[in-house]
Amino acid sequence: MNQIQLTKEQLGKIAGGVVLAGGFLYVYAFYFWIPTSKVIAANSKKNAAMEKDIAAAKAQKAAFPDLEAKLASLKEEKEEVQQRLPGAKQFPDVIKTVETLSAKHKVRVQSIAPSGSANTEYFIRTMYRITATGNYHDIGRFLAALGLEVRIMTVENLSLSGTPGSDAGTASAAFTLVTYQYNENTKPAPAAKPGSKKKKKK
């Protein structure tokens, strides 16, 4: 076969084309491909992180399908506890309860007066001294009704005596009604760190 002979002018044109193509590739790579590849890499990482977060959220949702129902249940329990053990003194409510129950059970309350309070770690005991008159059985039902109230109340230091000049079965009662209030100054104990042990005193 005959070899193709190129002239110097043709060789110069070919060399110029190679240099021009190389320059174009360099400019394309430096100004277009490299920045674009960085953006692609950044978006890929961001997308992967978002997919990871979505997967974690789905896993949490699957693990706690009844989370809203649980929160609602806890809220109801908290409200019930607050009714039984309020966080503030409610003297008017106590008077209203005593008056309502005494009228229901035909007991006449002669006096009711606060007689001090005592703080404990978790609650506050508030005492009210009450005197009342009525039938023995009615007084018993009245005292039992106080103990069955939603709010925690107890009867202490009960004293019963017959009422002179009254019908048989009529008595006078004197007792201390104790109500309980949540001590809002109570601080929860700090949680122990996993694996931590208390040092024994020598």
Domain range list for the chain = 14-61, 83-182
Task: State how far the alpha carbon of 112 is from the alpha carbons of 135, 136, 174, 187, 190, in Å.
Answer: 19, 19, 10, 33, 41
pLDDT for the residue numbered 22: 61
DSSP 189: P
d(CA 92, CA 97): 9
**Listed range (60-64, 92-96, 123-127) with the worst mean pLDDT:** 60-64
pLDDT for the residue numbered 202: 47
Pick the CATH number of 83-182 from 3.30.70.60, 3.40.190.10, 3.40.50.150, 3.60.15.10: 3.30.70.60
pLDDT for the residue numbered 16: 61
Higher pLDDT residue, 83 or 193? 83
Higher pLDDT residue, 181 or 34? 181
Structure tokens at 103: 């009228």
d(CA 54, CA 33): 31
Please report where in the chains the tokens 């700090």 appear, as a residue.
190
Query: At 142, is the pLDDT very low, low, confident or very high (cuts 50, 70, 90)?
Result: very high
Is the confidence at residue 151, as pLDDT, over 70?
yes
